[in-house]
Structure 1
Amino acid sequence: MRNGKPKQNKYTKDTAGQPASRQSSPARPREKRVEKAGKSQSRSIQQADSFLDEMKNDLMAFFQINDNQSFTQEQVLEHFDTSDRRMKLIMHGLIGELQDEGFLTRQADGSYRADADANVVEGVVDHVNSRFAFIVPDTEAGVRRDRDDDIWVSTDDLAGAVDGDRVRVVRFTDSRNGGRSGAKRRIEGKVASVVERGRTELVGRIEVWPTYGFVVPDSKKIYDDIFIPKEKLGGASDGEKVIVRLTKFPDPNSSKQRFEGEVLTVLGVAGQNNTEMHAILAEFGLPIHFPADVEQEAEAIPTKILKKDLAKRRDMRDVTTFTIDPIDAKDFDDALSVQILDNGNYEIGVHIADVTHYVLPGSKLEEEAFKRATSVYLVDRVVPMLPEKLSNGLCSLRPNEDKLTFSAVFELTPNAQIVNEWFGRTAIHSNRRFAYEEAQDILNHNSGDYLEELRLLNELAYKLRDERFKNGAINFETVEVRFRLDENGVPLAVYPKIRQDTNKLIEEFMLLANKRVAEFVHSLSKRNKGGEENTMVYRVHESPAEDKLRSFSEFARKLGYKLNVDDEHLSNSMNRFMASIEGKPEANMLQQLAVRTMSKARYSTEDLGHFGLAFRRYSHFTSPIRRYPDMMAHRLLQHYLDKGKPADRDEYEEKCRHSSEREKMAAEAERASIKYKQVEFMSRMAPDQTFEGVISGVTEFGIFVEITENSCEGLVRMQDLSDDFYEYDKDNYRIIGSRTKKMYTFGDAVVVRLKETNLARRSMDFALVSDSAGRATDLSTSRRPGRSESGSRSNGSSSSRSGGRSKGKDSVAPKGENRRGGRGRR
């Protein structure tokens, strides 16, 4: 077992019902201020600044964890092994204080019992490393804006809970001060009970012994091996990847402190491409195959479009229409049509696959689509939300076929201003299927199919983009990697994805449709009695938390860049910052950190707007083949076009919450597959091959380095920096040699070689070959020479259109723009 047997719990009774002997416990961090409870507020367990505070905390924890029992004072004294007369008097006094403060209730028989609701919160375990976890408390809205209220829990105090479990936790502290510069410090606690298991199935590599087996989990958040009895091995052989069901969990009240399980599925030999990709899907609870009844229902859908299907649709089959997608795409969600009107304006149609015509409420297809909520894009495959007959067949807007669509049709002036708009169901016939590269080549060479239409759309897209950034949209441009694989899925090359004008063209018209659908549904609310707003599925992105912005601004300042978070127009300030780091070695890391500073986009029925896009209202309408929220948006739009009343908000909010959670899991699986392939690619490198890189992170255990040419990241461990003893300077994001004062800081250029790869953990270690490290002479700042206070480049100017038209046709793909080209997660 990786973690040893937890120490005995000093708060609970042993299995015989007798008080457990008092055990020493690790001292909790000392904080300066104690929160005082008001009359209507349950009292938090105080931070211990003295022996009496420590005793009081222990008493509170004992009563809270055993809140289904009552105890006399004598039983409490016996539990804590208190025999000294003075200590007995102190304990009596503390029990009296807790009663006066409302934490304890005195029963009719003279015993005491904890208030069941006092100081206990419910939340989900986020097991960040082998030493401790955070409990993420529930909120009324079910959404966390930040993590400052998370509760720190030692692994020994998890009571058998694992990552993802829902638990009841007793808070030990609630001080908000302490630490350097008055920084916030974490609340501490202890798990009282597991409410619901978040996961009962895990993926890992099995080690088989003569009479038993152990499964080493793939998840970086499960830190114990799983014991498998011989009769539960399920035919697995040593070294295979398996899915295992947990059958027994560590019991904090007994000596059995291990996980036990049974093998459900043998995925295959560890290290093989299919095995590893299936293991990643299973690790994140994502499906591999469709149930048979879902496939059967899909196969039963007629392929021919009937006259009745066309009867109530706008027929646009004679209008010039085409699709632009990634070269390997098969599920074509969207198409664009172009007409030049007699008045000199342009009619641009954004046509979206009419998935809800085929996937009906109450059907098996609907249930499965909701359950999955999204397609999953791994490095080498797509796991679709809908069966292939729909995703790549009936719904896909393939060329030279009549297709049923849901459309947003706009009349635009030559300056890209909307004059008229129309929303409804249509029928189209795509004349051409373009790959992004193919359409871009036509634009670059001014020659090819539909040149005039492509050129017109491109010019309109530029104007829409310029207007969007003028209104405050933020220009995030972080690197996304792509792979070239052989027929066995082995990575032969890793390279950055390039965004071209055609990617941005599609993106702008999808953004326009998503925005205007949201605005249109809202505008129909005026016909409702009492002004009740129509329920709609919005894609919301709230403004970032001020403390996170200030922390990031301070971080950037110490690297020589300026981000003014007090600027009335924060987006403009952020865009100036983005322009100032363009072309710098640390640009990619800073862009990623800036993205993390932002709130996470999510789905909601609350009309909260989209901060990053600077849209008052925004929805997801344009990708129903791969996103369930878009299906919901289609149904709601049609409902209101049919003059329906506002839909059930609670029902749709729950569906939004589920969709956001599934989107997060899919994104994590996608990142895991990328990381696996990066490690696999690097594992084939020669031991003496060197790579130029940039320090992308600094921690107490080493420095992370990102290789410039392929964005692969690895760790240079502190113990491998043998020329000096290095200390971690957290405030200045660097490590400093105690003897030489040699300094490594975020963004420094280094040269590394590969030291070790670990495919099972999807990680790699580097060894430092050379560097340009400076010397730390002033510990108050790590500003580098050669940068102005404003952070501008040496030429002293930056484009006033930093958020608008790119300087060239190509740019690095922004984070979140996945395999769907311009159709990212925003």
Structure 2
Amino acid sequence: MSKSKEKKAGKRLTKHVLVDKLNGFFSLRPDEVFSLKAISAALHLTTHPLKRMCFDILEEMVSDAFLKRISSNEYQLNTQGAVMTGIFQRKSNGKNVFIPEDGGEPIMIAERNSAHALNNDKVKIGFFARRRNHTPEGEVIEILQRADATFVGTLKIDKYYAFLLTENRTLANDIFIPKGKLKGGQNGDKAIAKIIDWPEDAKNPIGQVIDVLGKTGENNAEMHAILAEYGLPYVYPAAVEKAAEKLTREITQQDITEREDFRNVTTFTIDPKDAKDFDDALSIRKLASGSWEVGVHIADVTHYVKESTIIDKEAYKRATSVYLVDRTVPMLPESLCNVLCSLRPNEEKLTFSVIFVMNDKAEVLHHRIVHTIIKSDRRFCYEEAQEIIETGKGDYAEEVLELNKLARILRKNRMANGAIDFQRVEMKFDINEEGKPIGVYFKESKEANQLIEEFMLLANRTVAESVGKASHAKKAKVFPYRIHDVPEMSKLEDLNTFINKFGYKIRTSGSKGEVAKSLNRLMSDVRNKKEQELIETVTLRTMQKARYSVYNIGHYGLAFDFYTHFTSPIRRYPDMMVHRLLTRYLGGGRTVSADKYEELCEHCSDMEQIAANAERDSIKYKMVEYMSERIGQVYDGTISGVTEWGIYVEIDENKCEGMVPVHCLSDDYYVFDDKNYCLVGRRHKNKYSLGDAVKIKVVRADLVKKQLDFDLVNDEKSLMAPAAL
């Protein structure tokens, strides 16, 4: 072929035509690997522009998962997972996804291709290889295992039929309930239902009521509904409670002989005023050497709760106590957590302890980890201990003040080593006997809280180091750690961009310690400034989530190379795991299976997150309930969140948060700028940015959705703000 003819041919071979050629080429050779050179030769691509266009298309096909890259310039048809197994995740907006069990990228499943699979069902799908400009899609071809899913809602019962009007975020459809499957439920009752069938041609699944919680709007019914929505238990199994009550309360002479005796050493607990489960106590005495012996004594739960017993299985299933606004849903039966194991004053208790010998500079000269017996002399609440710290007067003032002096030094050293100092103010509700919120107050961490925190951190770190810091000749034994990864650089850069608007800056690169110290400087610089809470919130969002794992990477936020959870076995299952393994290893026992304990850790991390979500929902519910009596009132607020669908505003006075929907910003068409946390008007360029001060009116309180709706009032940026019309 002459050069002129070749050029004409090159012009005729458009990108669209070449895409079709490449599709056909690879589809006919699904098992073969081809280099760019071989593809160019096979398709007669002899000019540089054609080869360049071919390379660009191949890269797009790799990005679209139609091809997979074998090496830097070799490609093969992506046939992996033509049929795949994994977990189906249902979304109420119809944008369902499939999560492959091999950990691959999520795949979209349109509602028409879902075969009525439910959230977390194990399914088999057919995978349609993604084509250019299309997201990957699949079709459910078999439901392998139904998730044990239940749905919470309100019963609507008519003469001939009944429905459960669902509140679940993963199911857009209400559930049809046959009249014989109502389990005594009445119209307007809050209930839990299970789907028993979903015929192929039916819009609504068919279900049966498995429990009636009470009337919608009643406090108990609503709190139980929040727990049930997350699959959390709201009653304790009678068989487990019975087993707990049968446990012996007697402390035998053998128990005492096998333990170090601290019954005559000054010991006390410091906890919230409404606490009943006292996990930890502190003892202190001065030694002849002039040093201080400080004991961190933790309830010896695993002395009573043996592995694989009915109590242990229930504790593992729950993995954590859940703290809703008006109640605690305990991990252990109340006879254990509030009586037998709780370190109540003037009662002899079995404990697992870390005993420190410290000098006046809070340097640990040596420590030991031992089983002990204690007798607490006094139960302090934080407010009582704080008063002693501030006035120097009260019961055991000398001991409290000495512990606080040591804790101050520990804290100062920890911060100097790069620990990140988040001092968050916590919103709390005053609740009356009916569970109704009648007021809001704010809980701040003071020195009494920090005293306990520092000694618990020291004990947790020491326990982790005792197992994790193996000698060079030995491999560390398997152990559950509390780990916290470094923030992603991209998130740090976004944070830096945001805080620049307020005149602050942080390091986004460098060593872990350097970045942490710059974050600490930021926390210090914003303290008592009007933007403090906002910047602290955005900084917190930048952080990774802490979790449990046997694979230690250290704890970034605390600046510890080794950290675990040892100090709260009454309310956290990982602490029970740590107690058992520590006892085993101190007795010379062999290491355990890493795979088994990693699985336990993953379960505990998952349950911790679920519990946190339920706790947040209970706060949201009470927030909406509290503000429902304040419809029409006007408040000063601060923009606390910005999304494409609206702006979230936190009321300055009480920290209740609601949303101004974007369609209410009627003076312009607003576009979401995710990099700068703002909505920008297309015509007038008005901005609503994170941290802006605004005035709002409360217009709606939706208890079902746990959502407050606000309007903007007298906003300088918008003459047509709805509330001003």
1:475 matched to 2:424: no
Q: Helix, strand or coil: the match of 1:398?
A: coil
Q: 1:217 aligns with which of 166, 187, 207?
A: 166
1:351 matched to 2:297: yes
TM score, norm. by length of structure 2: 0.85
Q: Helix, strand or coil: the match of 1:426?
A: strand
1:292 matched to 2:238: yes
Give deviations 1:507-545, integer Å, cap 9, x for gaps. Answer: 00000000000101224x449xx7232111111111122
- 1:134-145 mapped onto 2 (5 Å cutoff): 134-136=97-99, 138=101
1:673 matched to 2:618: yes
1:695 matched to 2:651: no
- Aligned partner letter, 1:447: K
Q: Helix, strand or coil: the match of 1:460?
A: helix
Q: 2:441 aligns with which of 495, 520, 524?
A: 495
**CA displacement at 1:407 relative to structure 2:** 0.3
- Aligned partner letter, 2:703: L
Q: Is the 8 A contact 2:276 2:338 kept in 1?
A: yes
1:264 matched to 2:210: yes
Q: Is the 8 A contact 2:296 2:355 kept in 1?
A: yes
Give deviations 1:160-205, integer Å, cap 9, x for gaps. Answer: 3344444456375499xx9xxxxxxx96433535444444211111
Q: 2:398 aligns with which of 444, 447, 452?
A: 452
Could you tell me how far apart the structure 2 residues matched to 1:50 and 1:274 are? 63
- 1:122-161 mapped onto 2 (5 Å cutoff): 122-123=86-87, 125=89, 127=91, 130-136=93-99, 138=101, 149-161=105-117
Q: Helix, strand or coil: the match of 2:566?
A: coil
Partner of 1:657 in structure 2?
Answer: 602
1:117 matched to 2:81: yes
- 1:35-434 mapped onto 2 (5 Å cutoff): 117-118=81-82, 120=84, 122-123=86-87, 125=89, 127=91, 130-136=93-99, 138=101, 149-168=105-124, 170=127, 172-173=129-130, 188-193=136-141, 194-249=143-198, 254-434=200-380
Give deviations 1:555-595, integer Å, cap 9, x for gaps. Answer: 33355532221243110121122233333444323323322
Partner of 1:81 in structure 2?
Answer: none
Could you tell me how far apart the structure 1 residues matched to 2:19 and 2:193 are? 44
**CA displacement at 1:668 relative to structure 2:** 0.9
Q: Is the 8 A contact 2:83 2:124 kept in 1?
A: no
Instruction: Give the 3 Å change call, closer, same or farther, for CA 363–187 of structure 1 in structure 2.
Output: same
Q: Helix, strand or coil: the match of 1:621?
A: coil
Q: Is the 8 A contact 1:748 1:773 kept in 2?
A: no
Instruction: Give the 3 Å change call, closer, same or farther, for CA 488–168 of structure 1 in structure 2.
Output: same
Q: Is the 8 A contact 1:213 1:228 kept in 2?
A: yes
Q: Is the 8 A contact 2:632 2:699 kept in 1?
A: no
Give deviations 1:324-349, integer Å, cap 9, x for gaps. Answer: 00000000000000011122211000
Partner of 2:480 in structure 1?
Answer: 537
**CA displacement at 1:222 relative to structure 2:** 2.7
Q: 2:565 aligns with which of 620, 645, 655?
A: 620
- Aligned partner letter, 1:576: R
1:608 matched to 2:553: yes
1:594 matched to 2:534: no
Instruction: Give the 3 Å change call, closer, same or farther, for CA 173–471 of structure 1 in structure 2.
Output: farther
- Aligned partner letter, 1:545: E
Instruction: Give the 3 Å change call, closer, same or farther, for CA 172–558 of structure 1 in structure 2.
Output: farther
Instruction: Give the 3 Å change call, closer, same or farther, for CA 50–551 of structure 1 in structure 2.
Output: farther
**CA displacement at 1:444 relative to structure 2:** 1.2
1:639 matched to 2:595: no
Q: Helix, strand or coil: the match of 1:732?
A: coil
**CA displacement at 1:278 relative to structure 2:** 0.7
Instruction: Give the 3 Å change call, closer, same or farther, for CA 404–731 of structure 1 in structure 2.
Output: closer
Question: How many residues matched?
Answer: 658
Partner of 2:517 in structure 1?
Answer: 572
Q: Helix, strand or coil: the match of 2:202?
A: coil
Q: Is the 8 A contact 1:479 1:497 kept in 2?
A: yes
- Aligned partner letter, 2:364: I
Instruction: Give the 3 Å change call, closer, same or farther, for CA 53–385 of structure 1 in structure 2.
Output: farther
Could you tell me how far apart the structure 2 residues matched to 1:645 and 1:580 are? 49
Give the unaligned 5+ runs of structure 1.
1-48, 65-99, 104-112, 141-147, 179-185, 776-826
Partner of 1:683 in structure 2?
Answer: 628
**CA displacement at 1:718 relative to structure 2:** 2.0
Give deviations 1:264-287, integer Å, cap 9, x for gaps. Answer: 111000000000011111111111
Could you tell me how far apart the structure 2 residues matched to 1:53 and 1:764 are? 51
**CA displacement at 1:451 relative to structure 2:** 0.8
- Aligned partner letter, 1:161: A
Give the unaligned 5+ runs of structure 2.
1-14, 31-65, 70-76, 720-725
**CA displacement at 1:381 relative to structure 2:** 0.5
1:435 matched to 2:398: no
**Root-mean-square deviation (Å):** 3.1
Q: Helix, strand or coil: the match of 1:771?
A: coil
Could you tell me how far apart the structure 2 residues matched to 1:370 and 1:684 are? 41
Instruction: Give the 3 Å change call, closer, same or farther, for CA 593–50 of structure 1 in structure 2.
Output: farther
Q: Is the 8 A contact 1:350 1:407 kept in 2?
A: yes
Could you tell me how far apart the structure 1 residues matched to 2:436 and 2:157 are? 28
Instruction: Give the 3 Å change call, closer, same or farther, for CA 653–101 of structure 1 in structure 2.
Output: closer
Which consecutive aligned stretches of 4+ in structure 1 deviate over 6 angstroms post-superposition? 51-61, 100-103
RCO higher in 1 or 2 (8 Å CA, sep ≥ 6)?
A: 1
Could you tell me how far apart the structure 1 residues matched to 2:534 and 2:107 are? 29
Could you tell me how far apart the structure 2 residues matched to 1:571 and 1:500 are? 23
Q: Is the 8 A contact 2:197 2:207 kept in 1?
A: yes
Partner of 1:551 in structure 2?
Answer: 494
- 1:656-805 mapped onto 2 (5 Å cutoff): 656-685=601-630, 687-773=631-717
TM score, norm. by length of structure 1: 0.75
**CA displacement at 1:628 relative to structure 2:** 0.7
Q: Is the 8 A contact 2:192 2:209 kept in 1?
A: yes
Could you tell me how far apart the structure 1 residues matched to 2:505 and 2:135 are? 32
**CA displacement at 1:136 relative to structure 2:** 4.8
Q: Helix, strand or coil: the match of 1:620?
A: coil
Partner of 2:56 in structure 1?
Answer: none
- Aligned partner letter, 2:117: A
Could you tell me how far apart the structure 2 residues matched to 1:212 and 1:286 are? 29
- Aligned partner letter, 2:632: D
Q: Is the 8 A contact 2:281 2:343 kept in 1?
A: yes
Q: Helix, strand or coil: the match of 2:713?
A: strand
| Greater Cα offset, 619-628 or 536-545 | 536-545
| Greater Cα offset, 225-234 or 747-756 | 225-234
Could you tell me how far apart the structure 1 residues matched to 2:325 and 2:24 are? 51
- Compare the two structures and name the one with the higher helix fraction: 2
